Chains A and B, each alone.
Chain A
Amino acid sequence: MCGKCCGKSEAYLKPFEDIMADFEGKESDLIPILQRIQAAYGYLPEDVIRELSERTGIFVTKIMGVATFYSQFRLEPIGEHTIRVCFGTACHVNGAEAIADALSDELKVPVGGTTPDGKFTLESVACLGCCSLAPVITIDDETYGRLTADKARDIIRDMYAKEGAK
């Protein structure tokens, strides 16, 4: 029934159990619980959502409704590194699109996609709030500001050079 989790044993659900210990499981806990699950698993795995539903009595449809409404939640695993291209107004007027195009071309994935080697996920965000550094991207927790298309390509090439071949 529950697909992966039966095969993946207790160890797989251990992070989930730890999270649930911190909550009463009320409906108003749903978003914080999903945030914690995503932080632990990198995304919202279907089997964990089913388990959450069993545990709290909140219908899977309801959980999915919430999970798909908010842009923070993802239902697919992500790459090793997440690149976020800021599309705030300041970045837009300073050429965010050219940065996104360059990254997309360099990585050969569209915005929203993950490279086949699982290294990078390319995302867009509405605004990172570092408007005076526009245009800005973040790679994981590192911020890169005042970019040009060229600089953006170089950052990726440098990372590949450091971490091994494409």
Chain B
Amino acid sequence: MKIVIGLGSCGIASGGLKVKEEFEKLLSANPNAGAELAETGCMGMCYKEVNVEIIEDGGRSTIYGEVDAERAREIFENHVLGGKPVEDYVVRSSYGENEHDAFFNGQYRYVLDRCGKINPESIDEAIAAGAYRGAEKALKTMTPEEIIDEVLKSGLKGRGGAGFPTGQKWKFARAPKADQKYIICNADEGDPGAFMNRSVLEGDPHAVIEGLLIGGYAIGATEGYIYARAEYPLAIKRLKIAIAQAEERGYLGKNVMGTGFDFHLHIKEGAGAFVCGEETALIASIEGQRGMPRMRPPFPANRGLFGKPSNINNVETLAVVGRIIADGAEKYTTLGTEKSSGTKVFALAGKVKRGGLAEVPLGTTLRDVIYGIGGGTVSGKPLKAVQMGGPSGGCIPADLLDTPIDYDTLAATGAIMGSGGMIVMDEDNCMVDIARYFLTFIQSESCGKCTFCRIGTRRMLEILTRITKGEGQEGDIELLEELAMQIKRSSLCGLGQTAPNPVLSTIRYFRDEYEAHIRDKKCPAHQCKALIRYEIHEDKCVGCTVCARKCPVEAISGSAKKPHTIDQEKCIKCGICKSACRFDAITVD
């Protein structure tokens, strides 16, 4: 029997290490239990962390959710020792159906195939599960041109957001003759609300290394870099382990797999700058400069890192390359749609019931992902919008949920595919506030090189802030639109060109909400503090004094068993009283 603990960052944050410790203790106290402990990356069900899988000797699997030390003891006692699963905590089982099955049933795990199954720190498990098959085939039996052709045929597009055909990009980098070329993996996953790349790096680092190796061979680069976010210490740690193992086994280093091809891989840790996700800024950062984008052309394929031809791909793009080569391009084109082939991993989060990693074939509708896999909103309230593509993307309203997820259709809605963040919002979320949120982010991350991005986003933020404070004026919406168009047209890099998208898409679909803020001085979602008021209803208040005791600013007064009142002057609108009231006596308007 095998006890497998999901130890991705989410799992660890939820207490996975304590669960592991508990199982270690139980196993050493019961040396004859006939079970071994193993760890893996993220199993995908982030909403049920900590996940523990029990694999019986016959191969039957049971996954438990929300495991803590106490549940670990119960599971050990009943299932590991007693052979009887603890039904109450089961989230997926080969013994029978389960309400959580829907989370997996709608998915097609191609990129995530090995994530949550193998031990990411064991190259043997990765190889046994198919890692480096593609690299062997590519380096031993194919010419670089054949590889590029195969990737072109697969229709794979860059999964970082822009969606440029990967084969095409490799072709451009293959073309120039140079004494040195570089291939770079962009693992600077900076979009707030996105964790797809982190999970792949933590769960299956060898897939990314394999992709870099194949790509390096295809374009003629003998040096590779992985530019990883410093906020992802576990991903970096596992990458380092994986690189050392790959070197030892001859998948990296001199004379890779006896083919005569040399390939060396380095990790560069980012230092916290969103703009470094842009390729020329990323290159500047590896070179030790401030991470500011530069004019293109020359494109990195001609003049990239240290002035040499370079190619940059996203983590998810590289992670699937090995499989495309191993399985053949045709298999990949059977997934997804004609124009958008393959699968895409989404980080489903926000106010969704079942949040986590969801990989679906392109062409799947938003509804299938959010309701089918995600189970709808956690509050049970109507879904209002889904935000896709992070600060460069936009909000898609509920009535467009039947939109299929592919590059062109999403772009037509004003959002973008983006790198895969999918944030669900319900009716309690204010769309003006969401726009202001993204602009705040963009404003502080603008590198400052282009005037329109640097100052334009600041002016937009000022306008949005004043709207959320109830100081909006007639003409503000039009002014926002005008500024947005100018920023889009006049910025050098993708960050600036897409910066106004969250504002434009919310104006497009939720203009009435902007107008309510500006004209009626009301926030329909009751979120903008300056526009709301908490009140206690005399007829419902029983004078239990809970709210008065919970109020952090002593704004609530009244004697016991008598209706209380809120001093509006003192109230900071934190909402603690409302959530503390058990009699629904406090309302917000």
A73-B271, A145-B14 as given contacts; A93 in contact with B425, CB under 8 Å: yes
Q: Name the segment of A46-54, A64-72, A154-162 touching the other chain.
A: A64-72
Least CB distance, B398 to chain A, in whole angstroms: 15
B190 interface hit (Cβ, 8 Å): yes
What is B's interface to A at a CB cutoff of 8 Å? 9-10, 12-14, 46-47, 49, 189-195, 198, 230-232, 268-274, 285-291, 306, 347, 349-351, 355-356, 387, 390, 421, 423, 425, 429, 434, 437-438, 441, 445, 447, 550, 552, 572, 574-576, 579
* A66-B288, A102-B574, A130-B195 given; 15 more Cβ-contact pairs under 8 Å: A27-B287, A31-B268, A32-B269, A66-B290, A70-B273, A89-B193, A89-B421, A93-B423, A101-B574, A126-B274, A127-B195, A129-B194, A130-B10, A133-B46, A133-B49
- Residue pair A134, B290 in contact (C-beta under 8 Å): no
- Within A112-163, the residues touching B (CB, 8 Å) are 125-134, 136, 143, 145, 148-150, 153
- Residue pair B193, A88 in contact (C-beta under 8 Å): yes
- Residue pair B193, A132 in contact (C-beta under 8 Å): no
**Assembled-state Cα–Cα distance A153/B268 (Å):** 37
- Residue pair B355, A131 in contact (C-beta under 8 Å): yes
**Assembled-state Cα–Cα distance A9/B286 (Å):** 33
A98 interface hit (Cβ, 8 Å): yes
A89 proximity list for chain B (CB < 8 A): 192-193, 349-350, 387, 390, 421, 423, 437-438
- Residue pair A102, B552 in contact (C-beta under 8 Å): yes
- Within A16-66, the residues touching B (CB, 8 Å) are 26-32, 34-35, 65-66
**Assembled-state Cα–Cα distance A130/B349 (Å):** 9
Least CB distance, B355 to chain A, in whole angstroms: 4
A90 proximity list for chain B (CB < 8 A): 192-193, 349-350, 355, 423
**Assembled-state Cα–Cα distance A140/B351 (Å):** 27
A102 proximity list for chain B (CB < 8 A): 552, 574
- Residue pair A130, B13 in contact (C-beta under 8 Å): yes
Interface magnitude class on chain A: 35 or more
- Residue pair B286, A28 in contact (C-beta under 8 Å): yes
Determine which of A34, A65, A101, A127 lies in contact with B192 in the assembled complex, contact meaning CB atoms within 8 Å: A127
A92 interface hit (Cβ, 8 Å): yes
- Residue pair B290, A93 in contact (C-beta under 8 Å): no
B575 proximity list for chain A (CB < 8 A): 98
- Residue pair B350, A93 in contact (C-beta under 8 Å): yes
B550 proximity list for chain A (CB < 8 A): 150
Least CB distance, A162 to chain B, in whole angstroms: 18
What is A's interface to B at a CB cutoff of 8 Å? 26-32, 34-35, 65-66, 69-73, 87-90, 92-94, 98, 101-102, 105, 125-134, 136, 143, 145, 148-150, 153
- Residue pair A125, B351 in contact (C-beta under 8 Å): no
B441 proximity list for chain A (CB < 8 A): 87, 126
Specify which of A26, A27, A30, A93 lies most central, judged by the most chain B CB atoms within 10 Å of its CB. A93
- Residue pair B49, A70 in contact (C-beta under 8 Å): no
Closest 10 CB pairs of A and B: A89-B193, A132-B46, A131-B349, A70-B271, A143-B13, A71-B272, A72-B272, A30-B288, A127-B192, A88-B192
**Assembled-state Cα–Cα distance A94/B429 (Å):** 9
Some 24 contacts from A to B, beta carbons below 8 A apart, are A29-B288, A31-B269, A31-B271, A32-B269, A66-B288, A69-B273, A71-B271, A89-B387, A89-B390, A89-B423, A92-B437, A102-B574, A127-B190, A127-B192, A127-B193, A129-B194, A129-B195, A129-B231, A132-B10, A132-B46, A132-B349, A132-B355, A133-B14, A136-B13
Least CB distance, A28 to chain B, in whole angstroms: 4
Least CB distance, A24 to chain B, in whole angstroms: 12
- Residue pair A149, B574 in contact (C-beta under 8 Å): yes
**Assembled-state Cα–Cα distance A72/B188 (Å):** 14
B230 proximity list for chain A (CB < 8 A): 35, 72
**Assembled-state Cα–Cα distance A29/B266 (Å):** 13
A143 proximity list for chain B (CB < 8 A): 12-14
B350 proximity list for chain A (CB < 8 A): 89-90, 93-94, 131, 134
- Residue pair A70, B13 in contact (C-beta under 8 Å): no
- Residue pair B13, A127 in contact (C-beta under 8 Å): no
Least CB distance, B199 to chain A, in whole angstroms: 9
**Assembled-state Cα–Cα distance A93/B502 (Å):** 15
- Residue pair B349, A134 in contact (C-beta under 8 Å): yes
- Residue pair A132, B47 in contact (C-beta under 8 Å): yes
B355 proximity list for chain A (CB < 8 A): 90, 131-132
B231 proximity list for chain A (CB < 8 A): 125, 127-129
- Residue pair B193, A130 in contact (C-beta under 8 Å): no
A88 proximity list for chain B (CB < 8 A): 192-193
- Residue pair B291, A133 in contact (C-beta under 8 Å): no
**Assembled-state Cα–Cα distance A27/B349 (Å):** 40
Chain B residue at minimum C-beta to C-beta distance from A88: B192
- Residue pair A149, B576 in contact (C-beta under 8 Å): yes
A73-B271, A93-B350 as given contacts; A131 in contact with B13, CB under 8 Å: no
B285 proximity list for chain A (CB < 8 A): 31
Least CB distance, B365 to chain A, in whole angstroms: 22
A71 proximity list for chain B (CB < 8 A): 271-273
- Residue pair B10, A34 in contact (C-beta under 8 Å): no
Chain A residue at minimum C-beta to C-beta distance from B448: A69
Chain B residue at minimum C-beta to C-beta distance from A124: B444
**Assembled-state Cα–Cα distance A94/B286 (Å):** 35
Chain B residue at minimum C-beta to C-beta distance from A96: B437
Determine which of B271, B274, B425, B579 lies in contact with A35 in the assembled complex, contact meaning CB atoms within 8 Å: B271
Determine which of A27, A125, A128, A148 lies in contact with B579 in the assembled complex, contact meaning CB atoms within 8 Å: A148
- Residue pair B288, A27 in contact (C-beta under 8 Å): yes
- Residue pair A129, B232 in contact (C-beta under 8 Å): yes
B387 proximity list for chain A (CB < 8 A): 89
B9 proximity list for chain A (CB < 8 A): 129-130
Chain B residue at minimum C-beta to C-beta distance from A133: B13
A30 proximity list for chain B (CB < 8 A): 288
A89-B349, A136-B13 as given contacts; A101 in contact with B421, CB under 8 Å: no
